[in-house]
Amino acid sequence: MFRIPLRPSILVFTIMYLSGCPVSKACTNLIITKKASDKGSVMITYSADSHTRYGSLFFYPAADHPAGSMVDIVHYENGKITGRIPEVAHTFSVVGFMNEHQVAIGETTFGGHDSLQSQPGAFLDYGSLMKLALQRASTARQAIRVIAELMAEYGYASHGESLSVSDANEAWIMEIIGKGRYEKGAVWVALMIPDGYVSGHANQARITFFPVQKANKWDDPAQTCFHSPDVISFAKKNGFYGGNEKDFSFSDVYNPVDFGGARFCDARVWSFFRQVNQGVRENPYYTEYALGSIRHATNFPDGKPNPHAYATNRLPLWVKPDIPLSLPQVFAFMRDHYEGTPLSMTDGLGAGPFALPYRWRPMEFKIDSFTYINERAIATQQTGYTFVAQSRNYLPDPVGGIFWFGVDDADGCVFAPMYCGITEIPEAYRTGNGSMIQWSDNSAFWTFNLVNNWAYTRYNMIHPEIAQYQKELEDKHIAESAATDLKAAALYKTDQAAALSLITGFSVETGNTLVAAWKSLFHYLFMKYMDGNRKKSEGRQLLDNGNGRGIPPPPSHPGYGKEWERRMVENTGGRYRK
């Protein structure tokens, strides 16, 4: 038996990127196929969880390019121009990470073996590959092909990545890791999620076994697996794997799961799966895995031998939901803090007196020589932006794709509908309107951060009011977008320019109006809960004492709550006894 032992550096690397170190970002993708959705939508989600990522909406208009044109490669993380490659004759318009043909891409970084983390001379990072694919591909399959061919030609300049790639009919997971110092390029596998199923990934490689293909027949709809031709031979040649082709597991070879990969990463996928699938919900082995306990049995649960000692209690790559999922449910999955599970973040001393489901970084800390951890849920305070990309094959492409976009913590954001065919971005969401070190009063990012950070001070009092307004606005956006769908689809048959103008006007007005409303919400919440008090209100309006002079009735003083007061007394003994 030939097996690369797990190295402590892998766990350290996991802790580093989850702690917000600059090597990578910690993100979450969920994938919902057409028949797994109640409206026949393909949906992928993404949260860009970075302590330095500013939430704004990218926009690249469609363009024609003369022969010989070159395109600058701008690094997704640091904004530096790293190289140039030839441009194609025509590029599609892109809103965020969705193009005018309803193709969408999300990502999470998994790292992988240390020797594969950097590649001399390579300059195409994962963010550049995502952008180029969206500008050049009209289907998910084409996007995978664009990424694969660019990596083969120019190399790969990022850590290991999992990509969600979707269009109006299919959803795929693609996992990539560079060849490091050994060769130019990357090894990778892409699998189509079976229609009617859901999947997800969260900073741990998820593809294990896959059907080996003789060739990538890109135009063959029957082919549901693509991979680099040397995905196995490269591992064998360089000592990462020494077994048979049939026993090769991409994740177990290139990104072996350890405690961090299970507890900090795959646990987020488990939390999603258990909400939608009874089998996952009731299986104690999956719960054990999510808690960070990894089994390496001699056989897999299906009886298949395990000659390379792979993890045997891992989550399945995809599951069938008990019932089809709605768009509001998908929004809710992105707001998860492990509620109702052994990892729930709403209790314990770490949650404070106001049941705050967040833990400030770092991810681990030491007390008396013992190391302890903070949980990492789907919803997290450091999110720069988040989205749900919804693609629908029963509408014209520019109308069928909606990029539901939110900024800051998904738990406190409002997803705003941005049609994939729009030609303009709302000013409040425009890239360049503020930054992480520059304030803007009409910036969506800073407006939502004001509300969320205020809510963190007394979460169980303030957040319920946020959640109520959040639902009102999102329900309104869903209803209004449904009406806009019908108008725009009908108009598109006779006047495509007018249809694009209609959806652009709707998205721009909705986005700017939303941010103005959320700013008013901050003013209301700040006044109501200032100084530890709680003023009386009705319908998000503060009440006066009846004299008409702007003086409120006496506020209530909620304090810390009896449970926390008891803990305070237990901690200090008779120090504060009267």
- Contact, 225 vs 211, CB < 8 A? yes
What are the tens digits of pLDDT across the range 105-125?
999 999 999 999 999 999 999
Cis peptide before 362 (omega within 30 of 0): yes
Looking at this protein, which amino acid is placed at residue 475?
D
Mean pLDDT, the chain, whole residue set:
94
Strand ranges, E, within 171-287: 171-178, 186-192, 198-201, 225-227
What are the tens digits of pLDDT across the range 485-540?
999 999 999 999 999 999 999 999 999 999 999 999 999 999 999 999 999 999 99
What are the tens digits of pLDDT across the range 328-379?
999 999 999 999 999 999 999 999 999 999 999 999 999 999 999 999 999 9
For residue 18, name the pLDDT band (cuts at 50, 70, 90): very low
Instruction: Provide the pLDDT for residue 10.
Output: 36
Instruction: Provide the pLDDT for residue 187.
Output: 98
Question: What is the phi/psi pair of residue 242, to 5°?
Answer: -135, 20
Is the pLDDT score of 14 beyond 90?
Answer: no
β-strand pairing of 198-201 with 318-319: antiparallel
What are the tens digits of pLDDT across the range 254-292?
999 999 999 999 999 999 999 999 999 999 999 999 999
Query: What's the rounded Cα separation, in Å, for the pair 197 and 320?
Result: 4
What are the tens digits of pLDDT across the range 554-567?
999 999 999 999 99
Cis peptide before 211 (omega within 30 of 0): no
What are the tens digits of pLDDT across the range 195-229?
999 999 999 999 999 999 999 999 999 999 999 99
Looking at this protein, which amino acid is placed at residue 195?
D
3-state secondary structure of 217: coil
For residue 22, name the pLDDT band (cuts at 50, 70, 90): very low
Calculate the alpha carbon distances from 210 to 29, 169, 174, 256 in Å.
Answer: 21, 22, 12, 16
Rounded mean pLDDT of 457-479?
Answer: 98
Name which of 277, 294, 274, 251 is nearest 343 in CA terms.
274
Instruction: Provide the pLDDT for residue 77.
Output: 83
Rounded mean pLDDT of 474-478?
Answer: 98
Query: What's the rounded Cα separation, in Å, for the pair 203 and 201?
Result: 6
Question: For residue 364, what is the enclosing H or E element?
Answer: strand 364-367
Instruction: Provide the pLDDT for residue 335.
Output: 98
Instruction: Provide the pLDDT for residue 4.
Output: 30
The total of other beta-carbon atoms located within 10 Å of residue 555's CB is 16
Sign of the alpha-carbon dihedral angle for 208, 213, 215, 217:
negative
Name which of 168, 166, 212, 170 is nearest 189 in CA terms.
212
Instruction: Provide the pLDDT for residue 76.
Output: 87
Is the pLDDT score of 15 beyond 70?
Answer: no
Is the pLDDT score of 101 beyond 70?
Answer: yes
Torsion of CA 192, 36, 263, 190, to 10 degrees: 10
Task: For Cα atoms 261, 262, 266, give the angle at the middle one, nearest 5 degrees.
Answer: 90
Percent of the chain exceeding pLDDT 90 equals 93
Looking at this protein, which amino acid is placed at residue 24?
S
For residue 79, name the pLDDT band (cuts at 50, 70, 90): confident
Calculate the alpha carbon distances from 335 to 33, 106, 377 in Å.
Answer: 20, 17, 9
Is the pLDDT score of 20 beyond 70?
Answer: no
- Contact, 401 vs 389, CB < 8 A? yes
Instruction: Provide the pLDDT for residue 78.
Output: 85
Region of poorest pLDDT, from 17-26, 216-225, 414-423: 17-26
Query: What's the rounded Cα separation, in Å, for the pair 200 and 269?
Result: 6
SS (H, E, C) 302-346: CCCECCCCCCCCCCCCEECCCCCECHHHHHHHCCCCCCCCCCCCC
For residue 5, name the pLDDT band (cuts at 50, 70, 90): very low
Helices (H), 334-413: 397-400
Is 0.85 surpassed by the pTM of this model? yes
Choice between 576 and 419, residue whose per-residue pLDDT is larger:
419
Name which of 290, 284, 252 is nearest 268 in CA terms.
290
